Amino acid sequence: MTEESTHPVSPLRPALVFLLALLFFASLAYPLTLTAVAPYLADVTDPGSAGGSIVSGPNGTSYSTLLGENITCAYWNGNLSSCPYRGLFWSRPSDTDYQYLTGAGNETPYGPTDPNLLNETRYYINETGVHNITSACGIPPDIVTDSASGVDPDISPCGALVQIPRVAYFTGESQSELTTLVNSYIRGSGVPGVGAMYVNVVELDGGLIDLMAQQGAG
Amino acid sequence: MIAISTLPDVIVLIILGLVSAAIVGRYMAKVFVGRPTFLDPVMRPVESALLRLMGVDASRQMRWKEYAVALLVLNATATVFVFVLLLLQGYLPLNYWNAPGMNWDLAVHTALSFDTNTDFQHYTPELQTSLFSSLFGLMMMMFLSAASGISVGVALIRGFLRKDGTIGNFYLDVTQAFTRVLLPISILGALMLILAGVPQTLAQSVNIVPLAGPAQGIPLGPVAAWDSIEWLGSNGGGFYAANGASPLQNPSAITNLIAIFLMLIIPFSAPFMFSRMVRKEGEGRPLLIAALTIFLVAILLFLYFESYNPFLMSTGISQAGGPLVGAEQRFTLPESALFQIASVYGNVGSTSMSIGALTPGAQADLLWGMFIQGAPGGDGTGFGLLLINTLLAIFVGGLMVGRTPEYLGKKIGKYEMRWSTVVILSHPFAILIPTAVAFIFGLAQFSPAGLPSHQFTAVLYEFTSESANNGSSMGSLIDNTLYFNLAGAVVMTVGRYLPMIAMLAIGGTLASQSPLPPGPGTIKTDSSTFTVFLILFITIVTGLLFLPVLVMGPFAQGLLGGG
């Protein structure tokens, strides 16, 4: 151990130089290097994920598989005949209406014991009509409660299955065909024992629109 | 109740995390005692060049006051820089979404928030920070604050090794914490996150034409790089407002597990580093077991409280996988829960669930972790707080059985106790006074209003999170106000730098003592009896300090809520 010097250096110069070094290494080199390798690396497992997993959907649409969309008629107060999404599978409720920029960060607003939470949940149960459905699924919580992000793209497999009677009614598709469709969109993390099973609503609705277009053409 | 079948990945992750923590801890001990490591050929030239430019003789050892001044000047310089950056970001480049310059009070809060490792965000990142501010302000700060924390933790440990009154060279420590620990592990973490599907791009936006609604832009950026240091550095400030719940930051159950791993690796490696540095293999064990026990109990309690929300029973929704209010479908409840506990008990502050929507018991559980701060706590400082608790426990234990308080050959005297007590008592003061002021003067506004007990919990949570340098929050409190910005800035600064200075002061006085040989009166600190005593000590002291406010907040919410 060396002797302590009697004249310590001014701490300002090392601070400024270290700050500059951090700006070079942490703010520039680190993210730039990663960005340079990211597309190649991401393509190994999940092509396009480095750029936000953008894919094209039916009819010239495009979407990110990571983000949900405001596909729901839950705010139409039961007036389904004028709602354009009555024949689609609905997303989870979101207080921010799936606005990716302006609605960001609005948490689930009500406390766990707030009567408003109870009222809101009952409202969504009523609007989605799931209380009328007798199914092994019961009332899936995902389609009647807010997510944490406000842009959760996923619902549970049950959350999709209980919507089949309504979708069948408005599209004219048979319930068994829709069940096959939903089952083909059930995903997991891909690693056994990791993650919950889910259905990506935007992908499922894209598949549904494609299915109807095929049948319309055929 | 929670199905056992959803637990295995969480259990495997904890075991894997502990094994990795042992490896990282031993590696860090080598780095900070100056022994050769495998990164020497790459990093040594960079470090020597940097230290030369800084005009620093890295071999010169500092006493604690000089160490503290160096730490404070570096952090103050960086804070001022980030403050100016945030004020002026409207005139700076890389601002696709036209984020205006921040108000001065919000900029003060944000600059100090990232400097103090709190990363409490009173703003919406998508709307209110440019990519320029994120990269050159906040991401730089996430590395600096974590490196500062690690340096202080290491300097405190050196107090037990030395007898000449020095505790290391701050500039060497902070440089090596960056080059040898944070940067390499961040790169590895970011590469894993990219592989697992997290976006990493310099594009700030991508436009889409959705199935529903008009075309809209998705804010993007170098999310994987951000995520990695956010979690590894126990920072916790989100690239997106939804933070760990955002599908762009945390897109799958796999990335969720990587996040938890990154959050826990450095805090849990500290006891292993400690054992190695003091060259007594058994001495880290009680500290590790104490932190781990408190942590595991917290997870079990969280799962118990969050397994269903009794107030929602009457709606008839199925709660077999938890209430799912304010949770994401792609994660199982144990995965969401472990993320949340790791983030709060590890003083990260990222969130995968809406904390305001959690059941009252789960909210109390999170508050409890921030009251303790050291189980395992943030990078470096978490272990420092655990050591301070240990010193107090030894002192109290010594008084109870009439033995001389000493630890690892160093006497625990009046000076060490004074600093330790100041640290323990400053925490409730920093939390309770501003909370009381907010209610007495009607400074807290809520949207939506919510129940009074929920309002109280939200403000309590706000200041607890700031004093503990955690950074998570409950959504309903409107916090971008003059009072909450300025009071928060003071609370975060006190909550960060008072314990840091205390750690350096204690390290300095310990370092000026010659080690005593263990006598018959020495408490065996590597025994299981001491481990149990330490856990009980921390639990009882924390309970005595904070149970009353838990009763007023979450407990009242649970007992009286619902109308």
Angstrom distance (rounded) from CA B523 to CA B231 = 37
State pLDDT tens for residues A125-134: 999 888 777 7
Residue A7 clears pLDDT 60, i.e. is over it: no
Residue B259 in contact with partner chain A when CB distance is under 8 A? no
Phi, psi of B431 (to 5 degrees): -90, -50
Give B407's strand partners.
B410
Q: Give B134→chain A minimum CA distance, Å.
A: 9
DSSP B330-352: TS-HHHHHHHHHHHHHTT----S
Residues B475, A57: C-beta atoms closer than 8 Å: no
CA–CA min distance B242, chain A (Å): 5
Closest-CA distance of chain B to residue A196, Å = 5
Contacts of B12 (CB under 8 A, 6+ apart): none
| Pair of tokens at residue A201 | 């609503």
Whether the CB of B350 is below 8 Å from some CB of chain A: the reply is no
Any domain includes B37: yes
Clarify whether residues B271 and B402 are in a common domain: no
| Spatial distance between the Cα atoms of B323 and B131, rounded to a whole number of angstroms | 36
C-alpha neighbours within 13 Å on the C-beta side of residue B359: 21
Q: What is the ipTM of this complex?
A: 0.96
**Most confident by average pLDDT, A95-99, A154-158, A187-191:** A154-158
* Cβ A176 vs Cβ A156: under 8 Å: no
Q: What phi, psi does A97 have (nearest 5°)?
A: 50, 35
Chain B: nearest CA to A177, how far in angstroms? 22
Q: Identify the pLDDT of residue A75.
A: 79
Q: Please, what is the Cα angle at A58 between A52 and A64, to 5 degrees?
A: 15
Same-domain pairing of B103 and B239: yes
Decide: helix, strand or coil at residue B209.
Answer: coil
pTM (2 decimals)? Answer: 0.96
Spatial separation of the C-alpha atoms in residues B402 and B392, rounded to whole Å: 15
Q: Nearest-CA neighbor of B153 among B491, B406, B502?
A: B502
**The two structure tokens encoding residue B221:** 């950026």
Q: Is A41 close to B191, i.e. CB distance below 8 A?
A: yes
- Where exactly are the structural domains of chain A? 68-217
Rounded Cα gap, residues B467 and B546, in angstroms: 14
pLDDT at A3: 45
Judged by CB atoms closer than 8 Å, whether chains meet at B213 and A66 is answered as no
Contact B328 A107 (CB under 8 A): no
DSSP-assigned states of every residue in A57-112: -GGG-EEETTS------TTSTT-GGG-TTTTS------TTTT-SSTTTT----S-T
Cβ contact B357–A111 (<8 Å)? yes
Q: How many domains does chain B have?
A: 2
**Cβ contact, residue pair B325, A112, below 8 Å:** yes
Q: Supply the pLDDT for residue B343.
A: 97
pLDDT digits (tens, 9 = 90+) for B492-527: 999 999 999 999 999 999 999 999 888 777 888 999
Under an 8 A CB cutoff, do A18 and B174 touch? yes
Q: Buried b vs exposed e over A116-137: b needs ≥16 C-beta within 10 Å?
A: ebbebbbebbebbebbebeeeb
Token pair of B225 as six digits: 């790089």
Mutate to test the interface with B, among A1, A17, A18, A145 (most CBs of B within 10 A): A18
What residues of B are in contact with residue A8 (Cβ under 8 Å)? 62, 66
Q: Distance between CA atoms of A90 and B240, rounded to whole angstroms?
A: 24
The answer to whether the CB of B505 falls within 8 A of the CB of B387 is no
B81/A contact by beta carbon, under 8 A: yes
B98 in reach of chain A (CB within 8 A): no
Single-letter amino acid code for the residue at A57? G
User: What's the first-to-final CA gap in chain B, in angstroms?
Assistant: 26
- Could B124 and A205 be called an inter-chain contact, meaning their C-beta atoms sit closer than 8 Å? no
Q: Name chain B contacts of A34, Cβ cutoff 8 Å.
A: 187, 190-191, 194, 200, 222, 224-225
Domain boundary among B281, B313, B346: B281
Is B276 in the same domain as B398? no
- C-alpha distance across the termini of chain A, in Å: 85
Given B223, B251, B281, which residue is the final one in a domain? Answer: B281
> Can you give the pLDDT of all 563 residues of chain B as single tens digits?
556 667 888 899 999 999 999 999 999 999 999 999 999 999 999 999 999 999 999 999 999 999 999 999 999 999 999 999 999 999 999 999 999 999 999 999 999 999 999 999 999 999 999 999 999 999 999 999 999 999 999 999 999 999 999 999 999 999 999 999 999 999 999 999 999 999 999 999 999 999 988 899 999 999 999 999 999 999 999 999 999 999 999 999 999 999 999 999 999 999 999 999 999 989 999 999 999 999 999 999 999 999 999 999 999 999 988 999 999 999 999 999 999 999 999 999 999 999 999 999 999 999 999 999 999 999 999 999 999 999 999 999 988 888 878 999 999 999 999 999 999 999 999 999 999 999 999 999 998 888 999 999 999 999 999 999 999 999 889 999 999 999 999 999 999 999 999 999 999 999 999 998 887 778 889 999 999 999 999 999 999 999 999 999 999 988 876 44
DSSP B215-278: -EEEE---HHHHHHHHHHTT----SSTTGGGSTTTS-SHHHHHHHHHHHHHHHHHHHHHHHHHH
**pLDDT given at position B3:** 63
Q: Is the per-residue pLDDT at A167 higher than 70?
A: yes
Q: Is B390 near chain A, with CB under 8 Å? A: no
Task: Name A21's Cβ contacts closer than 8 Å, sequence gap at least 6.
Answer: B50, B53
Tell me what pLDDT residue B398 has: 87
pLDDT in tens, A45-74: 888 999 999 999 998 999 999 999 999 998
A108 contact residues in B (CB cutoff 8 A): 325-326, 354, 356-357, 475
Mean pLDDT, chain B, rounded, equals: 95
Q: Is the confidence at residue A205, as pLDDT, over 80?
A: yes
Q: Predicted confidence band at A16 (pLDDT cuts at 50, 70, 90)?
A: very high
**pLDDT at res. B404:** 79
B451 with A125: Cβ contact below 8 A: no
Q: Do A66 and B247 touch (CB under 8 A)?
A: yes
pLDDT at A178 over 50: yes
CA distance A6 to chain B (A): 11
Residue of A189, A203, A209, A210 best to disrupt the B interface, most CBs of B under 10 A: A189
Domain around B24: 8-281
Top residue of B12, B61, B223, B317 to mutate, by most chain A CBs within 10 Å, is B317
Yes or no, beta carbons of A42 and B191 under 8 Å apart: no
Place of tokens 């408005």: A170
Residues in chain B: 563
pLDDT in tens, B436-489: 999 999 999 998 888 999 999 999 999 999 999 999 999 889 999 999 999 999
Q: What is the mean pLDDT of chain A?
A: 90
The pLDDT value given to residue A76: 77
End position of a domain, from candidates B250, B281, B312: B281
Expressed in percent and rounded to 5, the helix, strand and coil fractions of chain A are 50, 5, 45
Does residue A6 register a pLDDT over 50?
Answer: no
Residue B361 lies in a domain: no
Q: How confident is the model at residue A173 (pLDDT cuts 50, 70, 90)?
A: very high
